[in-house]
């Protein structure tokens, strides 16, 4: 992209900021039928990519496994997309729904 001028500033145009470094943490939520090894499998993937688990909340409600993990991802060895895909693709193997989202979503919605 060409150099921004004074006029561009008045138009509100800025240098595009591509790197998504507004995302130090991710929330990983898991829901499905309980079985052996759900946490072990997912933790392995997280560790492999240098994610750091800072909080886990896990419950079994009427046989349903439910877990929410908060993971620091600022030192990931891969990009977010690959990290997300690696975890979410465990859904077949584990038979549970895995969703990886930026923590920002939850902060924005619930904190002013």
Partner 1 sequence: MALEFDEILETIQMVQMQNLDIRTVTMGISLRDCGHPDINVFCKNIEEKILSYAGNLKATVEEIEKEIGIPIVNKRISITPIAIAAEAVQAEDYTPIAVTLDKIADQVGVDFLGGFSALVQKGFTRGDLRLIKSLPKALASTNRVCASVNVGSTKAGINMDAVKMMSEVIKETAELTKDKDGIGCAKLVVFCNVPEDNPFMAGAFHGVSEPEVVLNVGVSGPGVVRAVLEKHPEVSINEISELIKKTAFKITRMGEMVGQMVSRRLGIPFGIVDLSLAPTPAIGDSIANILEEMGLERCGTHGTTAALALLNDAVKKGGSMAAHNVGGLSGAFIPVSEDAGMIEAAQLGALTLDKLEAMTCVCSVGLDMIAIPGDTPMETIGGIIADEMAIGMVNNKTTAVRIIPAPGKKVGDGVEFGGLLGYAPIMPVHQFSSAKFIHRGGRIPAPIQALRN
> With the C-alpha atoms ordered 107, 33, 78, 76, is the resulting torsion angle positive or negative?
positive
Give whichever of 4 and 47 is closer to partner 1, judged by the CB atom: 4
Give whichever of 36 and 111 is closer to partner 1, judged by the CB atom: 111
> With the C-alpha atoms ordered 30, 35, 37, 41, is the resulting torsion angle positive or negative?
negative
Is residue 18 near partner 1 by the rule CB under 8 A? yes
- Contacting residues toward partner 1, per CB under 8 A: 1, 11-18, 20, 22-23, 27, 29, 55, 57, 68, 70, 80-81, 84, 99-111
């Amino acid at each position: 992209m060409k150099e921004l001028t004074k006029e561009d500033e008045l138009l509100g145009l800025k240098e595009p900021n591509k790197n998504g470094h507004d995302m130090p943490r991710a929330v990983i939520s898991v829901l499905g039928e309980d079985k052996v090894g759900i946490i072990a499998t997912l933790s392995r993937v997280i560790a492999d990519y240098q994610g750091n688990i800072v909080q886990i909340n896990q419950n079994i409600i009427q046989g349903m496994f439910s877990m929410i993990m908060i993971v620091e991802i600022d030192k990931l060895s891969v990009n977010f997309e690959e990290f997300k895909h690696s975890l979410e693709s465990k859904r077949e193997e584990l038979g549970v729904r895995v969703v990886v989202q930026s923590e920002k979503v939850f902060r924005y919605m619930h904190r002013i």
